[in-house]
């Protein structure tokens, strides 16, 4: 089969190549999926470039990635099942997240990929493969952050970076829960954010929401450009600030640790500052997360916007396009 192979860490143009490799064989509890679409997102860029360096110690591999085929999210059709894999039948249209952590290659930039059955859900009929492939990793991050922020109906929520992969899902998930949502991003993305369902939008180049009169029950800082001190001016007395930890492709923090020191600092302060969520290292099971995302997709509460697709041979160009940030909507690979 054809697949993108990563030979080391570095610039995507230097370390990625299209090659013929053996088709994977599903093991116990796994299914073989014919990949119809695979998403391009920031965590894929991190694992390809190996930056920040600390992620290599978090499961990816020290000198080179342990798994040579990049990609974590997919949508496609079940081809066959391994032993004890009984949840899906050949021909079922499915989607999900392959890698067990976001710091590893999952093997989805290929014509076929092996996936644990618990990481998959049936794709709703009226959702395209491209749309379904674009939600697992980003959707999992968005849902977990909203959980930490104690999202509930009637809450006043602000999403900073609402036009990106995680932010766009957070806006829609919060609206589906009955929250009032304000989306903050660059002016050229505001129309898209309104289309996603935001009640109010703010162009951060023209307005500093922390100095306005509005108060929020949750500020979700997807872009990770805000300070807790500034956000406290815009929080309700019991409001929460939750930061995702966007590294801005290595520009916002060091090559070695990235945003990890800031994230750990906020976690430590969460024991004493009531505007931060209490430390909680629990992560929902992948099966629960993909089931929630499927329910949102099936209900029409989540409509991913695919901005551009690339063929399998142009993954380096797709990652470059992601880094440039000019595409409105998600970037997807079609093997």
The domain ranges of the chain are 2-134+304-334, 137-269
- pLDDT tens, 146-196? 998 999 999 999 999 999 999 999 999 999 999 999 999 999 999 999 999
Residue located via tokens 């014919």: 34
| Most distant CA pair in the chain, distance | 60
Name which of 152-156, 162-166, 262-266, 313-317 the model is least confident about: 262-266
Q: In this structure, are residues 219 and 235 in contact, taking their beta carbons and an 8 Å threshold?
A: yes
Domain spanning 137-269: which CATH class is it, in words?
alpha beta
Look over the chain and give the mean of its residue pLDDT values, rounded to a whole number.
90
Mark residue 270 as left, alpha or beta (left: phi above 0; alpha: psi -120 to 50; beta: remaining). alpha
Residue 139: predicted pLDDT: 95
User: Higher confidence at residue 261 or residue 50?
Assistant: 50
Helices (H), 134-224: 136-148, 165-176, 190-196
Residue 274: predicted pLDDT: 82
CATH fold match for the domains 2-134+304-334 and 137-269: no
What is the bridge-based pairing of β-strands 16-20 and 93-97? unpaired
Q: What share of the chain is helix, strand, coil (3-state, %, to 5)?
A: 30, 25, 45
Residue 63: predicted pLDDT: 81
Task: Report the alpha-carbon distance of residue 19 to residue 25 in Å, rounded.
Answer: 18
Provide CB contacts within 8 A for 32, sequence distance 6+: 23, 24, 25, 26, 78, 79, 80, 81, 82, 112, 113, 114
Residue 125: predicted pLDDT: 96
Task: Report the alpha-carbon distance of residue 118 to residue 104 in Å, rounded.
Answer: 18
Residue 56: predicted pLDDT: 78
Residue 115: predicted pLDDT: 96
Task: Report the alpha-carbon distance of residue 145 to residue 314 in Å, rounded.
Answer: 32
User: Higher confidence at residue 86 or residue 62?
Assistant: 86
- pLDDT tens, 117-148? 999 999 999 999 999 999 999 999 999 999 98
Per-residue 3-state assignment (H helix, E strand, C coil) for 53-78: HHHHHCCCCCCCCCCCCCCCEEEEEE
Does residue 258 carry a pLDDT above 60?
Answer: no
Residue 102: predicted pLDDT: 64
Q: In this structure, are residues 301 and 126 in contact, taking their beta carbons and an 8 Å threshold?
A: no
Q: What is the mean pLDDT of residues 241-265?
A: 66
Q: What is the mean pLDDT of residues 245-256?
A: 62
Q: What is the mean pLDDT of residues 66-93?
A: 96
Does residue 10 carry a pLDDT above 90?
Answer: yes
Residue 66: predicted pLDDT: 86
Domain 2-134+304-334, classified CATH 3.90.180.10, yes or no = yes
Task: Report the alpha-carbon distance of residue 116 to residue 160 in Å, rounded.
Answer: 34
Residue 8: predicted pLDDT: 94
Name which of 97-101, 274-278, 315-319 the model is least confident about: 97-101
């Amino acid at each position: 089969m054809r697949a993108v192979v990563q030979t080391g860490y570095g610039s995507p143009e230097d370390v990625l190549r299209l090659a013929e490799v053996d088709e994977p064989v599903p093991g116990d509890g796994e299914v073989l999926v014919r990949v119809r679409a695979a998403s391009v997102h920031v965590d894929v860029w991190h694992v390809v470039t190996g930056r920040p360096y600390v992620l290599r110690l978090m499961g990816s591999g020290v000198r080179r990635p342990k798994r040579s085929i990049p990609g974590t999210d997919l949508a496609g059709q079940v081809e066959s099942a391994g032993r004890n894999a009984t949840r899906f039948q050949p021909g079922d249209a499915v989607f999900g997240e392959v890698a067990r952590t976001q710091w590893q290659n999952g093997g989805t930039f290929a014509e076929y990929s092996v996936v644990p059955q618990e990481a998959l859900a049936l794709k709703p009929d009226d959702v395209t493969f491209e749309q379904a492939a674009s939600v697992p990793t980003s959707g999992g991050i968005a849902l977990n952050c909203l959980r930490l922020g104690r999202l509930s109906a009637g809450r006043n929520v602000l999403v900073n970076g609402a036009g990106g992969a995680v932010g766009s899902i957070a806006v829609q998930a919060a609206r589906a829960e009955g929250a009032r949502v304000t989306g903050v991003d660059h002016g050229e993305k505001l129309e898209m954010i309104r289309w996603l369902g935001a009640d109010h939008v703010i162009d951060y180049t023209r307005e500093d929401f922390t100095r306005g009169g509005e108060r929020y029950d949750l500020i979700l800082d997807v872009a990770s450009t805000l300070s807790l001190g500034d956000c406290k001016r815009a929080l309700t007395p019991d409001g929460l600030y939750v930061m995702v930890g966007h590294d801005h492709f290595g520009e916002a923090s060091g090559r070695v640790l990235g945003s990890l020191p800031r994230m750990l600092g906020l976690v430590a302060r969460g024991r004493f500052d009531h505007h931060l969520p209490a430390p909680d290292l629990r992560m929902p099971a992948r099966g629960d997360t993909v089931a929630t995302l499927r329910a949102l997709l099936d209900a029409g509460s989540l409509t991913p916007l695919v901005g551009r697709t690339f063929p399998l041979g142009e993954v380096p160009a797709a990652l470059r396009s992601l880094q440039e940030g000019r595409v409105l909507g998600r970037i997807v690979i079609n093997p």
